[in-house]
Chain A
Amino acid sequence: MRSDGTPPTPESGPPAPPGPGRRRFLGFVLAAPTLVAAAELAPASRAAAADIPSPEITELLDLNDVMTAAALPTSGLIRVEVHGDGTVSFALPRAEVGQGITTSTAMLIAEELDVPVERVRVTLADARPELLFNQLTGASNTTVSTYTPVRVAAAVARQRLLRAAATELGAPVDALSVKAGVVTAPAGRSVGIGALAAKAAVARTEQASVELKPRERFTVIGRPHGRVDALAAVTGRKRFTLDLGVPDARPTMVCRPPTINGRPGTVANLAAVRAMPGVTDVVVISTGVAVRAGTFGQCIDAVRALRVSWRPGTAEGKSDASVQKQLRAAELPMGLPPLTPSVEGEFTFAFRSNSALEPNCAIADVRSDRAEIWSSLKSPIVAQQTIAAKLRLPVGAVTVHVTEGGGSFGRKLFFDAALEAAEISQKVGKPVKLMWHRADDSRQGRAHPMARSRVRIAYAGDTVLGYKQRHTSVATDLGHGLGELFTAMAARLPVGDAAFSQTFFQLSQSMPYDFGANSRLLNETDKGFNTGSMRNVYSPDVTCARELMVDRLAARTGRDPYELRRRFLRDDRARAALDKVAEAGDWGRSMPAGTAQGIALHTEYHAVNAVLVEIDCRPETVNRPVRDGVTGPRVTRAVVAVDVGLTVNPRGLQAQMMGCLMDGIALTLTSGLHLRDGHFLEASWDNYFYTRQWNTPPELEIVVMPDTTGEPGGAGELGVAASMAAVACAYGRATGTMPTSFPINHDTLSFTPKPTVPPIPASPTDGLDHVR
């Protein structure tokens, strides 16, 4: 491809016409001692429709299209490398945080190259500034944006290997076949790709034109495959940031303020803490007081010993009630009530923690003229640039390694720990391995913002006349690269000159029902909190509010919730998914009092998700005892149907839907943060009630719908919204009361809050009493 970003043309023959016929793609063979094939990250063709205005923007162009389109003029090359031992390697410019993209990427390469998946090694690329917007892992975009380029690079490699094999085996390319990494000639002679790797290499970079394997010949894509890192995970060999042995990167923790974003003042006992066992350094930094020691146990003791006077933070004195009041005040007007009948509802969603199980952590080795960072980062380029600016180093002097992440859920779009580790390493002049305590991660880490959503549906007889939704939220921090991306793209989007967050809202919120005139608006307030997305930005709350009101409309008009949804869905794919869960879940079956079904639907990322759940709200279930946990209503059964278009790895997709369901259950029933006097009360996994085994549905079926589009869609976040909504709808139907505040247990504090000074709890000593 030419550097100005114009579309590629084949090196020989006329360009393939649009429509029927095989498309050819351009790739490269790069000068190297072994075979290195490459391709440019190309845009999805869908984005071309962007200039047509429409009341339903997301059908033409959603967030994914913007992300892929943004990549067009600036993207660099991605490379598939074939080695002498017959393995193939690829450095993926994305972050693997559990969503399975190293596996699906290995599958794409294996498919196109005809090698076993096990022989493809997918690693995570360091920050590559030349990729600009194209190294951001978010919005379920990875497979959408890399599906074609990765296959093009692999196809170029295959073509080169075949040419080398033709010479080697003395047979024309057309007569050769490739299977399991071995090229075979008609006479039965064969040669492995490892033996061909050097022979297929080129001394000067050249272009290559390839066709991709047609779908009817797929043997890997679309078939279930186990994760490529599963063996490492179950043997303890998988290396996360904190497991890396970077020389002299000693354990480091930070003593943090008692309120959100409080600032350190004076430290009364610096010298005494510096003299504690194992402690090598204690320094005041912008976010608190950092301690470096021989072990994390010594860090914990030192952090707890520090006596710091703290200055106010950015949410001083605020509480759930005061923020709710702010949100009410910021709500955009709904307009006059309609003259026709209508249903209307208001919903409140508490702050929620997007903590992963791996806490915020990073390794930093900052020297006078350079820096090296290791962390799981979904926006490594922005991290690199920001860290370089903070350290006053040129960007090129900062190397950022992207490590395997222990979960993200939005958290790793940010690089709070990496930036902090760099600051500490520079101040102490030594490498540091920084870990946030769980209490830090919960209280000072990012949260999904509190929000309110107001919905009005106007109807007359069998017709729905209009849908209005006003979503009001504490500001979501999107300053991790998406912001720059949208700024760059804003002029090309059909959403006028709306502010960035409104643009994002319009692009990511779809309206699957034909509900007449519809208007959905976002307003944000208060930037004093550390916020971020949490397995999706607005969709779970917005969809939950909408689906509850669809249920209310059904109740008001005497219709069945499933039939009403079905009737107003605009899209056949959505209807098929809804029908599937209704059928597989035996919708409408008779159930005991206090139990009920709920059904909900969500569309996003060119994908569809329908969820049916059954919930048990009977007292004997709600009040079943669990030590230091919240039991509450139990989802006893769930049926999930998902249509992402083309599925690369059904087993991985099912895993994503399973996780999304567990998030949805938690969002509706159990998991919220309580804000009191400028800090969150939650400081432990036994305070913040994410779904646990005792909340898990004993019966679960996940149906991957047949592919009707041929194009992959996004999946990592897709399943949360409909899951949350279905659980809420089921709860409303089981109890006869529509829930309006989430999670439903938020008014009950089910734990004793830990102190804020010292900021982290003591390490227990009674472990031997609990051996079982």
Chain B
Amino acid sequence: MPKHTFRLNGEQVTVDVADEERLLWVLRDVLGVTGPKYGCGINVCKACTSHLNGRAVNPCAVPVGALKPTDEITTIEGLADTAGAELHPMQQAWLDLDVAQCGYCQPGQIMAAVALVRRVTEEGRDITEADLDGIRNICRCGTYPRIRAAIRAGAARM
């Protein structure tokens, strides 16, 4: 089996798996990092959303062999560290607004939200209703309005 090296939540990791093994299963089944969830396996539901070098990525659609040793993967478990705090401001906003219901999609929702805020900040603008409408992450409990409110609250503190 080939060895693959990349950075995961601030640490260098090396795994011994086939090139084509999708990152989601490397994280969950090989490394035991279970924050990213399976919801469809075809990059539709976005429950596995994590970050690649700070941007939203869906590990279910990334063969591990496509990662470079310098690539930094951040899962929900490593998000708070990127803010140097117990909780990332977006996680805090999620708590303040009691967003989660079953919680299954929430790691992906939060990771997507943080990436969205970073993107619009880089574009030098505020989040719009259209930005929020464009979030594709499914929440089958239907807590969408609280997600929208939390993203705005979290963005204000990022």
Q: Is the CB of B103 within 8 A of A438?
A: no
* A690 CB contact (under 8 Å) in B91, B135, B140: B140
Given contacts A236-B76, A406-B37, A693-B148, contact A227 B58 (CB under 8 A): no
Give the complex CA separation of A663 and B101 in angstroms: 14
Nearest A-chain residue to B105, judged by Cβ: A357
Task: Indicate whether A761 reaches chain B with its CB closer than 8 angstroms.
Answer: yes
Contact between A696 and B144 (Cβ–Cβ < 8 Å)?
yes
Contact B57 A685 (CB under 8 A): no
CB of A692 closer than 8 Å to a CB of B: yes
Q: From known contacts A297-B21, A767-B58, infer whether A358 and B29 are also in contact, taking CB-CB under 8 Å.
A: no
Q: Determine the distance from Cα of A234 to Cα of B91 in the docked complex, in whole angstroms.
A: 6
For the complex, count residues of B whose C-beta is within 8 A of A. Answer: 76
Known: A230-B95, A231-B95, A768-B66. A355 touches B140 (CB 8 A): yes
Q: How far is the CA of A92 from the CA of B62 in the complex (A)?
A: 40
Q: How far is the CA of A35 from the CA of B56 in the complex (A)?
A: 49
Q: Is the CB of B148 within 8 A of A772?
A: no
A236-B30 contact given A358-B102, A693-B135, CB 8 Å threshold:
no
Q: How far is the CA of A690 from the CA of B141 in the complex (A)?
A: 10
| B101 pairs with A763, CB closer than 8 A | no
Contact residues, B29-88 vs A (CB, 8 A): 29-30, 32, 34-45, 47, 52, 55-63, 66, 75-77, 80, 87
User: Chain B nearest CB: distance from A277 CB in Å?
Assistant: 6
Q: Which of A240-248, A327-335, A336-344 makes up part of the contact surface?
A: A240-248
Nearest CB on A from B16, distance (A): 11
CA distance A192 to B13 in the complex (A): 46
| Closest-CB distance, A232 to chain B (whole angstroms) | 7
Chain A residues, Cβ within 8 Å of B29: 251, 294-297
Q: Does A752 contact B (CB under 8 A)?
A: no
Distance between Cα atoms of A766 and B44 in the complex (Å) = 13
Q: Which of A277, A659, A686 contacts B142 (CB 8 A)?
A: A659
Q: Identify which of A242, A300, A693 contacts B34 (C-beta below 8 A).
A: A242
Complex Cα–Cα for A761 and B36 (A): 20
Q: Report the separation of the CA atoms of residues A233 and B29 in the bound assembly, to the nearest whole angstrom.
A: 20
**A243-284 at interface with B (beta carbon < 8 Å):** 243, 245, 251, 277
Contact B22 A297 (CB under 8 A): yes
A357, A662, A686, A761: the one within 8 Å of B47 (CB): A357
Give the contacting residue for A765; candidates B37, B61, B99, B103; CB below 8 A. Answer: B61
Tell which of B30, B37, B61 touches A770, judged by Cβ atoms closer than 8 Å: B61
**Beta-carbon nearest neighbor of A698 in chain B:** B129
Q: Check: A235 CB closer than 8 A to any chain B CB.
A: yes
The docked-state distance in angstroms from the alpha carbon of A770 to that of B58 is 8
Known: A98-B103, A296-B25. A693 touches B133 (CB 8 A): yes
CB neighbours (8 Å) of A405 from chain B are: 102
How many pairs of residues, A versus B, come closer than 8 Å at their CB atoms? 232
- Which one of A358, A660, A662 lies within 8 Å of B144 (CB-CB)? A662
* Bound-state Cα–Cα, A502 to B117, Å: 52
Task: From the candidates B21, B52, B140, name the one contacting A768 in the complex (CB within 8 A).
Answer: B52
Residue contact B22 to A697, C-beta cutoff 8 Å: no
- Residues of chain A from 322 to 366 with CB closer than 8 A to chain B in the complex: 355-359
Bound Cα distance from A763 to B24, whole angstroms: 11
- With a cutoff of 8 Å between Cβ atoms, the chain B residues found around residue A768 in the complex are 52, 57, 62, 66
Q: Are B95 and A234 within 8 A (Cβ)?
A: yes
Q: A691 at the A/B interface (Cβ < 8 Å)?
A: yes
Chain A contacts of B91 at CB under 8 A? Answer: 234-235
State whether B77 touches A357 (Cβ < 8 A). no
How far, in whole Å, are A761 and B43 apart by their CA atoms in the complex?
A: 11
Asked whether any CB of chain A lies closer than 8 Å to the CB of B132, the reply is yes
Q: Which residue of chain A has the shortest Cβ distance to B57 in the bound complex?
A: A771
Instruction: Give bound CA distance, A715 to B115, whole Å.
Output: 35
Is B94 interfacial (CB-CB < 8 Å)?
yes
Contacts of B34 in A (CB 8 A): 236, 239, 242-243
Judging by beta carbons under 8 Å apart, are A406 and B104 in contact?
yes
Question: A residues within 8 A CB of B59?
Answer: 767
> Are the C-beta atoms of B56 and A295 separated by less than 8 Å?
no
Residue contact B100 to A693, C-beta cutoff 8 Å? no
Q: Mark B141-158, 1 if CB is under 8 A from A, else 0.
A: 111111110000000000
Task: Answer whether residue A651 sits at the interface, using C-beta atoms and an 8 A cutoff.
Answer: yes
- When C-beta atoms are compared, the residue in chain B nearest to A250 turns out to be B29
Nearest-neighbor residue (CB-CB) of B145 within chain A: A700
* Nearest CB in chain B to that of A100: its residue: B101
Does A435 reach chain B (CB closer than 8 Å)? yes
B32 to A: closest C-beta gap in Å: 7
- Closest chain A residue, CB of each to CB of B103: A233
Q: Does chain B have a CB within 8 A of A661?
A: yes
With A and B bound together, what is the CA distance between A98 and B142 in angstroms? 11
The answer on a CB contact under 8 Å between A770 and B101 is no
Whether the Cβ atoms of A658 and B145 lie closer than 8 Å is yes
Q: Is A677 an interface residue (CB 8 A)?
A: no
User: Measured between alpha carbons, how far is A719 from B41 in the docked complex, in Å?
Assistant: 31
**CB pair B42 A438 closer than 8 Å:** yes
Question: Across the two chains, which residue of chain A brings its CB closest to B135?
Answer: A693
Interface flags, B83-125, vs A, CB<8A=1, else 0: 0000100010011001111111111001000010001000000
Nearest CB in chain A to that of B137: its residue: A693
| B56 engages A696 (CB within 8 Å) | no
CB pair A230 B141 closer than 8 Å: no
* Residue B139 lies at the interface, judged by CB distance under 8 Å to chain A: yes
Contacts of B95 in A (CB 8 A): 226, 230-231, 234
Q: Which one, B18, B38, B42, contacts A761 given CB within 8 A?
A: B42
Say yes or no: is A694 at the interface (Cβ < 8 Å to chain B): yes
- Interface check B126, CB cutoff 8 A: no
Q: Is A538 an interface residue (CB 8 A)?
A: no
Judge if A655 is at the interface, Cβ distance under 8 Å: yes
A648→B132 CA distance, assembly (Å): 32
Of B37, B43, B104, B107, which one neighbours A767 at CB under 8 angstroms? Answer: B43
Chain A nearest CB from B88 CB (Å) reads 9
Are A438's CB and B144's CB within 8 A? no
Q: Give Cα distance in the complex from A234 to B109, angstroms.
A: 9
- Is A390 an interface residue when CB atoms closer than 8 A count as contact? no
> Known contacts A230-B95, A767-B58, A768-B66; is A692 also within 8 Å of B140 by CB?
no
Q: Is B77 touching A236 in the complex (CB atoms < 8 A)?
A: yes
Docked CA distance A609–B40 (Å): 34
> In whole Å, how far is B26's beta carbon from the nearest beta carbon of chain A?
8
* Residues A655 and B58 in contact in the complex (CB < 8 Å), given A696-B148, A700-B145, A770-B43: no
Instruction: Tell me whether A438 and B41 are in contact in the complex, defined as CB-CB below 8 angstroms, given that A98-B141, A295-B29, A696-B148 are known contacts.
Output: yes
List of A residues within 8 angstroms of B102 by Cβ: 97-98, 356-358, 404-407
> Hey, what's the 0/1 contact readout for A77-96 against B, CB within 8 Å counting as 1?
00000000000000000000
Q: Which of B20, B60, B119, B145 has the most CB of A within 10 A?
A: B145
Bound together, the chains give a CA A514 to CA B39 distance in angstroms of: 46
Question: Does B136 count as interface, using CB distance less than 8 angstroms?
Answer: yes
Return the contact of B61 from the options A651, A686, A763 (Cβ within 8 A). Answer: A763
The winner among A277, A358, A404, A661 for most chain B CB atoms within 10 A is A358
Q: Does A378 contact B (CB under 8 A)?
A: no
Known: A407-B102, A655-B143. A771 touches B22 (CB 8 A): no
**Closest A-chain residue to B51, C-beta based?**
A771
Q: Within 8 Å CB of A359, what residues of B?
A: 38-39
In the bound complex, what is the Cα–Cα distance between A230 and B98 (angstroms)?
7
A693 touches B45 (CB 8 A): no
Q: Residues 661-694 of chain A: 1 if any B CB is under 8 Å from the residue's CB, otherwise 0?
A: 1110000000000000000000011100011111
Can you sample 29 A-B contacts with CB below 8 Å?
A226-B98, A229-B103, A231-B95, A232-B103, A234-B106, A236-B77, A237-B77, A238-B103, A240-B37, A242-B38, A295-B26, A296-B24, A296-B29, A296-B38, A297-B29, A357-B138, A357-B140, A407-B140, A655-B98, A655-B143, A658-B145, A662-B142, A693-B136, A693-B147, A761-B41, A765-B62, A767-B61, A767-B62, A772-B115
* Closest 4 pairs between A and B when the two form their complex, measured CB to CB: A236-B35, A98-B102, A662-B142, A406-B104
Identify 17 new A-B residue pairs, CB closer than 8 A, beyond the known A235-B76, A763-B61: A230-B99, A230-B103, A233-B103, A236-B36, A294-B29, A300-B41, A357-B102, A357-B105, A358-B37, A438-B41, A661-B142, A690-B140, A697-B145, A763-B60, A770-B57, A772-B56, A772-B115
